[in-house]
Chain A
Amino acid sequence: MTSRFMLFSDSATAVELYPEWDLVDKSTKLEALHRTRSGRSFRYKFGDYAKFAFSLTDVVSADASQVNSWWGANTDLLFTQDSGTTVSSVQLFNKSKPMGQYDKPYETLFKGKIELEGN
């Protein structure tokens, strides 16, 4: 498990997260890249957006419920590492409910996958 991250919609509504080691920062660049006949590159960058994916385990039902609620409402969120200075504006982009599975053998804890992308 990694260090603490925070996911919040406003100063009063935040969830502490401890992502598994599968956390990846896949922030994506939008660009057109072309190679000329001689192999030289022409690159036009239009923009970029943040993209993170990670697994969570041992999530208490209140936090799981909050995350699922954000997912259902496409809520604008902020995501940051506790010790970091970068704050990313994101939304939950999971196709299905992110925290929808019990963390066996506990019926009060949940696990799932979080997919965050810049909005």
Chain B
Amino acid sequence: MGLSVSSWFIDQLSVRNNNLLRKFTIGGSDYSDLVLQWPRFKYKWDAVQPISLNMQCAAESGHLDFFRTDKTTLRSQCQVSFGFTHPTSGDEFALLYEGTSDKVRFNRGACSINLLDKMKAFGERIVGNADSHATWTNSSLVSDIAWDICTSYGGLSDVRSTSNPDISYDAWLAWAAVWSADAVYMNADFAGTKVNEALRKIARMTRSAVYNDFTLIEFTRFSDASSKELLLTEDTYLDTDLFIDDATIINDQWLLGAYDVNSKDWGVAAQAVSSSSVGSYGQRVDVQKDENIWFVDSANTVNQAQRLIQFTKDPADQMRIQTTLYGLQRSLGETVRVNDTLLGVSSDSGFRLLAVDIDLDKCLVQMDVDNGMLLMPFILDDAKYGLLDQSYNVLL
């Protein structure tokens, strides 16, 4: 989903010389002038955990004394934004972080305010318990299981519309449609698992992204490259690193399904092998099973095992790219194309944006991208995905 801003705002991210506004609010009141150091924080595609952030503020003026004099303000809703001034319509801000203050420290005239986002509750609440298991036994869509865990157990809003203040409803609907279209069903049995761990298990079993996208919880299953692209060249990035890690290769994937909670037996043991990868790198076996959540039948389990291996059979190019705020034009899951003559990386190959590390003090953005997380479609008459030669507008 990304930043909720106008197209004019997105254009400003490309401007190389700009006046930047930064805003910090506590309970809706603006305390930006008190900020001594703006925070650094990171959003990751698979981090089902709260993002903690520390605001360093000047307290000499006494404007933050309300934390001491009225303890009920300790848990205040706080927001961190940045923005630009539009020539005619005034200031426009993009919300980068929303959380609740939970710890305040006064020291020698400064005040350090610790914030935690809405995933904090996920680490404090549990799904089911030993006496009363939380179960899904009727072949549910995993999206419905995740929804129940977030709302009934995690305490998030269960409003089923785009006005849900906690969950990106559009993203959840699109994610649900993937499972529904493929008729993929799962069962689950939790007996005291923390909510964040339960969601992590769902993400791992389905290879889905579950993350906090600035303000809303997003669910996505990465497949084809997103059409929302950002091209980074030597004119727009500050530095690049490229990693290739042999440890990421899995070419013999086992996935166990149809678990019987009573007998503790697995009814399905699906295997997917990439013989070409085995030939190149040797056999790399991985067995994935989870007694808390599993695919219900053979077709679903085999399908998922084959899907997993598509991502892992070859070592991926992983890049860490340092940019300015220019990099915030795209959000997690979207496509980044990189042109780096030094590394020999051309813009033909796409990468999926998997993590964004924002340093609002220095105005730096670090992007973690991975080309193994894209399943590139083949489109015959397309220059990027197929065989179209744009020079002559003919197929090669």
A residues in contact (CB < 8 Å) with B: 32, 34-38, 40-46
A34 surroundings in chain B (CB, below 8 A): 238, 324, 363-364
A69 CB to nearest chain B CB (Å): 20
Contacts of B238 in A (CB 8 A): 34-37
In the complex, the chain A residue whose C-beta lies closest to that of B326 is A42
Q: Which residues of A contact B342 (CB under 8 A)?
A: 37
Once the chains bind, are B234 and A38 in contact (CB under 8 Å)? yes
Cα A43 to Cα B19 with chains together (Å): 8
Does B362 count as interface, using CB distance less than 8 angstroms?
A: yes
The answer to the question of B236 belonging to the interface, with a C-beta cut-off of 8 Å to chain A, is: yes
Contact A40 B16 (CB under 8 A): yes
Cβ-closest 7 pairs across A and B:
A32-B363, A37-B234, A42-B324, A44-B20, A38-B234, A44-B363, A43-B17
Nearest-CB residue, chain B, relative to A38: B234
Chain B interface bracket (under 10, 10 to 19, 20 to 34, 35 or more): 20 to 34
Q: Is the CB of A36 within 8 A of B234?
A: yes
Contact between A36 and B20, CB atoms less than 8 A apart: no
CB distance from A45 to the nearest CB of B (A): 5
Flag if B17 contacts A41 (CB, 8 Å). yes
Contact between chains at B20 and A45 (CB < 8 Å):
yes
Task: Enumerate 9 A-B pairs (CB-CB under 8 Å) in ascending A order.
Answer: A32-B20, A32-B363, A34-B324, A37-B235, A37-B238, A42-B326, A44-B18, A44-B324, A45-B17
Q: Bits for B44-69, please: 1 = Cβ < 8 Å to A, else 0.
A: 00000000000000000000000000
Within 8 A of A (CB), among B76-113: none
Q: Is B40 an interface residue (CB 8 A)?
A: no
The answer to whether B325 has its CB under 8 Å from any CB of chain A is yes
Q: Which B residues lie within 8 Å of A40 (CB)?
A: 16, 235-236
In the complex formed, the residue of A with least CB distance to B361 is A32
Q: B19 touching A45 by the CB < 8 A rule?
A: yes
B interface, CB within 8 angstroms of A: 16-20, 22, 233-240, 324-326, 342, 362-364
Option from A36, A45, A46 in Cβ contact (under 8 Å) with B235: A36
Q: Which residue of A lies closest to B20 (CB)?
A: A44
Q: How far is the CA of A42 from the CA of B234 in the complex (A)?
A: 13
Alpha-carbon distance between A83 and B98 when the two chains are bound, in angstroms: 50
- Minimum distance in angstroms from A119 CB to a CB of chain B: 11
- Hey, which chain A residues are within 8 Å of B240, CB to CB? 37
Give bound CA distance, A34 to B235, whole Å: 11
Which chain A positions have C-beta within 8 A of B362?
32
A34-B364, A36-B237 known; A42 and B16 CB under 8 Å? yes
Residues in B whose Cβ lies below 8 Å from that of A37: 234-235, 237-240, 342
Q: What residue in chain B is nearest A47 (Cβ atoms)? A: B19
In the complex, are the beta carbons of B234 and A43 less than 8 A apart? no
Known: A40-B236, A41-B17. 11 other contacts (CB 8 A): A32-B324, A35-B238, A36-B235, A36-B237, A40-B235, A42-B16, A42-B324, A43-B18, A44-B18, A44-B20, A46-B19
Chain A residues near B18: list those with CB within 8 A. Answer: 43-45
In Å, the complex CA distance between A21 and B17 comes to 35
In the complex, how many angstroms separate the beta carbon of A34 from the nearest chain B beta carbon? Answer: 5
A34 to B16, CA, bound (A): 10
Q: Give chain A residues whose Cβ lies under 8 Å from the Cβ of B233.
A: 38
User: In the complex, what residue of chain A is closest to B15 when comparing beta carbons?
Assistant: A42
Alpha-carbon distance A53/B20, docked complex (angstroms): 29
Nearest opposing residue in chain B for A45, CB measure: B19
Contacts of A44 in B (CB 8 A): 18-20, 324-325, 363
